[in-house]
Amino acid sequence: MKFTTIFGVIVALIVIGFLTMTHTVKEFEQALVLQFGEAKRVENPWGQDADAGLKFKSPVENIITLDRRNLEVDLQPVELVASDQERLVVDAFVRYRIVDAIRFYEALQTERGAQLQLQSIMDSTLRDVLGRVDRPNIIAGRRAELMAEIQQVSNNVVKDKSFGIEIIDVRIKRADLPPANTEQVFNRMVTERKQIAELLRSEGRERALEITSTAEKDATIIRAEAQQKAEIIRGEGDKERNNVYAAAYNKNPEFFAFYRSMEAYKKGLGTGTTYVLSPDSDFLSYLDDQGGPR
């Protein structure tokens, strides 16, 4: 019994000692080893070949686990003034990674500390970079170019401060007008669009008037020319008709008189026509006497 107890104590001491002197590092982690609060070394650090697994340490060493993967900070929206004096609310996020765990611990301690520092740096950088550009370029025109510039500027800042991190990406999720200005800007845009629409309508009416006047002028000229041609043709037709009549008269005056009377009857004696003439009128002489006028 006594031997069993002693054996159990020894085993327990061995297990406790093993647990105290070992720790495990996962592939996506990097372990910062501290001794009395001072950073001594980094196990499985970023930028080197993966060396995850079981690790040994002295009982007086403590382990702080840091992420080996890319980290993301969703920044608080920043209200700034663009170069055209338009106020904007910019919502962005930043991705970074811990490239020097010892410097990271000494400067920022934790990821929460990194978030606070990055928020401050990005606030300043966003105001500085976007404050030199007008609103349309921030919203759409040069957005990609501006994000690259913000990343470069902010990355230079964290390098100068030796935070042990590297900013690998900055993205502007949204750049909108402040709620207080939205209605005012919207009304102004509506007014501008109405002015443009009225200008276009005025130009359209002026153009329509020009087209209508030109068309009426052309129509008047065409009608006058057509009338002139018609008069000429009619005159030529009358001349030809008279020539025909004269030739017919010279050839047979009596038949010509008969033909002209028939033409007159055809034109004058329509359905329901009533004529009141004296008995000796020459107009109906061919109806009264087939021998013709007396």
pTM: 0.59
> Given a cut of 70, is residue 55 above it in pLDDT?
yes
Confidence of residue 224 (pLDDT cuts 50, 70, 90): very high
β-sheet bridge partners, residue 89: 79, 176
First to last CA, the chain: 178
pLDDT tens, residue by residue, 165-207: 999 999 998 888 777 776 777 788 889 999 999 999 999 999 9
Q: Which two tokens stand for residue 72?
A: 């993301």
> Given a cut of 70, is residue 294 above it in pLDDT?
no
| pLDDT score of 292 | 54
Does residue 104 contact residue 114 with C-beta atoms inside 8 Å?
Answer: yes
Percentage of the residues of the chain whose pLDDT score is greater than 70: 93
Quick one: average pLDDT of 240-245?
88
How far apart are alpha carbons 67 and 56 in whole angstroms?
Answer: 20
How far apart are alpha carbons 73 and 170 in whole angstroms?
Answer: 10
Q: How far is CA 19 from the centre of its chain?
A: 62
Averaged pLDDT score across all residues of the chain: 87
Q: What are phi and psi of 172, to 5 degrees?
A: -90, 110
Quick one: average pLDDT of 43-59?
88
Highest mean pLDDT out of 56-60, 84-88, 104-108, 271-275: 104-108
